[in-house]
Structure 1
Amino acid sequence: MGVQIGELIPRREIELQKLYGRKVAIDAFNAMYQFLSTIRQRDGTPLMDSKGRITSHLSGFFYRTINLMENGIKPAYVFDGKPPEFKRREIERRKEVREDAEVKWHEALESGNLEEAKKYAMRATRVNERLINDAKTLLELMGIPVVQAPSEGEAQAAYMAARKSVYASASQDYDSLLFGAPNLVRNLTITGRRKLPGKNVYVDVRPELVVLDEVLKELGIDREKLIEMGILVGTDYNPGGIKGIGPKKALTIVKRTKDPLKKYQKESEVDLYMIKEFFLNPPATDDYRLKWREPDEEGILRFLCDERDFSEERVRNGLERLRKAIESGKQKTLESWFRGG
């Protein structure tokens, strides 16, 4: 879900080419849910191999990552670790939502309503250890850095961006800003033509760049106040926030009140100060190495084609694109070196 403050956040569309040569830390779970939700058959069934193992996420990670690299972007994927204890309630709520959606998915299938079926199938998306491990295996075979966060992947990606290990954190959620990411890129892994849920309408989804300093300047607050504002509206750690407070009202409150959380703590079932501290100083690690390697092409063919029933022709075409993207990147780097740039 993420913090719902988007209506007040200044952002600008950018072309993928504007990120050429940039390192970007991608919230892997955020991307995985996107792939599992959108890469499905007409009735909502995910892509699967002959053994019934889901492969939608592998298709997403393989082809979308290649697309990023063709645009000169150097992606690193950051995977979630253990969530904070105060997120337990939201995790349970999401589980109930998925279970309810799964029931409605099968009911829609039985009634022959494929559009409804796909809608509920997308909401029923879930991630498990097998899917996570498969994704890590593929990315490592592709030579893409994989970073294991101690807690929230989004917090780790923001930490890496703040340390300038990468240019930006990439996620759909604005939580990255609360975690201190100086630059946030949205829509990175879902760029392209997309159908609006429940409507026969298609829109072009383009990457967006959000700069933390510009956000704070536009809103007239500092990061601490931005965190307080997010908490009042509602985060993954206190879903729903404080009743009756939306983004605009929250902004007014944090500007006028020295300690706004004190007033509203009694209305919350969780410790708001604990959430604030988590955003200010989230668990993060320095134990990561961002090194992009040559892909193991034979390993990828074995994993995707022999083990997961992917089309060998399509995978070989993807590998050819990946090879050319890497060679192009090397050539650009070499040209830049000779120019002294």
Structure 2
Amino acid sequence: MGITKLADLIRSDAPDAISYKDITHYTGKVIALDTSIVVNQFRAATPLLSPLTGLFFRTLTFLEHGIKPVFVFDGKPPGEKKAVLEKRAQTAGRNYSNWTGTASSQTKECLQLLEYLGVPVIQAPGDAEALCAQLVREGTVHAVASEDMDTLPFGANILIRQLNAKKDSEVIEYSLPKLLEKLQIGRKEFVDLCILLGCDYCEKIPGLGPKRALTLIQKHRTIEDVVLHINKKTHPVPNIWKYREARKIFLDGPQSSAPELIWTEPNEEALVEFLCHTKRVKEERIRNRMVKFRTMRENKREEREKEKAEGGGKQTSIKDFFRVTRKRVQPVDNASSSTSDRKRPKSK
């Protein structure tokens, strides 16, 4: 679900916090991706096919554009999220039972695929979006790519949506610093605003729309003071309202030390063995895509070198892309790790 109607509120009250980019704007940048969002997009779009194929094609497109993706996986979900997860599972016609954060069979397959593609993966101790935001704050990555707006209250300075690599599609970029400046509130007040709008970790006050919620936060600054100045008959406060717990999750979520990251050349033979011989994808399709990947990557590299040469810049080698920037750690099940220790195809 993300944050209810936050995108609408930003468009109306802080449009300067939004910019529209081409995918080439992110060439050379490290981008953290909330993996469950990507997987669920493909699951929703092609329910009869494995999302692994979509993940394979999209990752190669990122690499062709010189984007350095880092895929972050969900860990053990906060207890406050139980009701939301159960409701989503029921809507999808299944039961949700993974309260330990142990990697599912599909997650393990995604991890295997990404390893063969040569891109780094990270297992978050909790929600992936929280760790993605931490990576942005610490400067490990440039931005978070996710369709969920809740990476903003988690503190991600840059959130990008629609990084789907489709032709002629615009990437939407949100700037948290510009947003806070325009709304004239701090991050703590922004977190309280998001809780009032509606988040995954607690109920919201019924009947309180986004415009009214923003006005109340701008005037009274905290949920505690907002509650003192609303009509309890028209906006009844939930009897057991865990807004403090939700606030703590956004502001003090589980922290992990940023792992070192490595990008390596895709292993074509391993990809063919895994996708074709195990997942029954046509080998010709995979081979042809790998040929296209190498050709397009080389063409784009030559274009970038030409531009740099014309501008007097230093030419680069393809090895520059796959150099070690940080050492990758192996992802592990959260049930057995504490240091390396959604989702939905569309946010509100």
Say whether the fold is shared (TM-score over 0.5): yes
Q: Is the 8 Å Cα contact of residues 157 and 176 (structure 2) preserved in structure 1? A: yes
For 2:119 and 2:224, the matched residues in 1 are separated by: 41
Are 1:213 and 2:187 counterparts?
no
CA drift at 1:259: 2.6
CA drift at 1:324: 4.0
- 2:33 corresponds to: 26
- Cα separation, partners in 2 of 1:306 and 1:182, compared to 1, 3 Å: same
Aligned residues: 291
CA drift at 1:323: 3.0
For 2:305 and 2:20, the matched residues in 1 are separated by: 30
- 1:119 corresponds to: none
CA deviations 1:278-329 (Å, max 9, x no partner) are 1012113115222111111111000001111111111012222333455567
- Is the deviation greater in 216-225 or in 78-87? 216-225
- 1:339 corresponds to: 313
- 2:210 corresponds to: 247
CA drift at 1:261: 3.7
CA deviations 1:260-282 (Å, max 9, x no partner) are 24654952534211111110121
For 1:174 and 1:84, the matched residues in 2 are separated by: 18
1:203-282 equivalences in 2 (<5 Å): 205-239=169-203, 241-261=204-224, 264=227, 266-267=237-238, 269-282=240-253
CA deviations 1:4-54 (Å, max 9, x no partner) are 2111223222100111111100000111111110124xxxxx11xxxxxxx
Are 1:82 and 2:56 counterparts?
no
Q: Is the 8 Å Cα contact of residues 77 and 126 (structure 2) preserved in structure 1? A: yes
For 1:77 and 1:273, the matched residues in 2 are separated by: 30
Q: Is the 8 Å Cα contact of residues 27 and 67 (structure 2) preserved in structure 1? A: yes
Indicate the structure with greater helix content.
1
- 1:60 corresponds to: 54
Q: 1:77 is matched by which residue type in structure 2? A: F
- 1:308 corresponds to: 279
Are 1:188 and 2:163 counterparts?
yes
What percent of counterpart residues are identical? 33
For 1:281 and 1:332, the matched residues in 2 are separated by: 44
Secondary structure of 1:245's match? coil
For 2:85 and 2:225, the matched residues in 1 are separated by: 26
CA drift at 1:59: 1.2
For 2:302 and 2:198, the matched residues in 1 are separated by: 47
For 1:333 and 1:288, the matched residues in 2 are separated by: 29
Q: Is the 8 Å Cα contact of residues 70 and 321 (structure 1) preserved in structure 2? A: no
Q: Is the 8 Å Cα contact of residues 237 and 275 (structure 1) preserved in structure 2? A: yes
Tell me which of 89, 112, 127 is aligned to 1:152.
127
For 1:286 and 1:326, the matched residues in 2 are separated by: 32
* TM-score normalised by L of structure 2: 0.77
Q: 1:144 is matched by which residue type in structure 2? A: V
- Cα separation, partners in 2 of 1:205 and 1:340, compared to 1, 3 Å: closer
Q: Is the 8 Å Cα contact of residues 16 and 71 (structure 1) preserved in structure 2? A: yes
Q: CA RMSD in A?
A: 2.6
CA drift at 1:339: 3.2
Tell me which of 19, 24, 29 is aligned to 1:17.
24
CA drift at 1:192: 3.5
CA deviations 1:150-174 (Å, max 9, x no partner) are 0010011111011111100110011
Secondary structure of 1:99's match? coil
- 2:232 corresponds to: none
CA drift at 1:242: 1.1
* TM-score normalised by L of structure 1: 0.78
Are 1:288 and 2:289 counterparts?
no
Q: Is the 8 Å Cα contact of residues 33 and 144 (structure 2) preserved in structure 1? A: yes
Q: Which runs of 5+ in 1 are unaligned?
A: 41-45, 48-54, 101-127, 194-203
For 2:106 and 2:224, the matched residues in 1 are separated by: 39
Q: Is the 8 Å Cα contact of residues 3 and 235 (structure 1) preserved in structure 2? A: yes
Secondary structure of 1:291's match? coil
For 1:186 and 1:134, the matched residues in 2 are separated by: 25
Q: Which runs of 5+ in 2 are unaligned?
A: 95-102, 228-235, 316-348
Secondary structure of 1:339's match? coil
- 2:105 corresponds to: 130
Q: Is the 8 Å Cα contact of residues 135 and 258 (structure 2) preserved in structure 1? A: no
Are 1:322 and 2:282 counterparts?
no
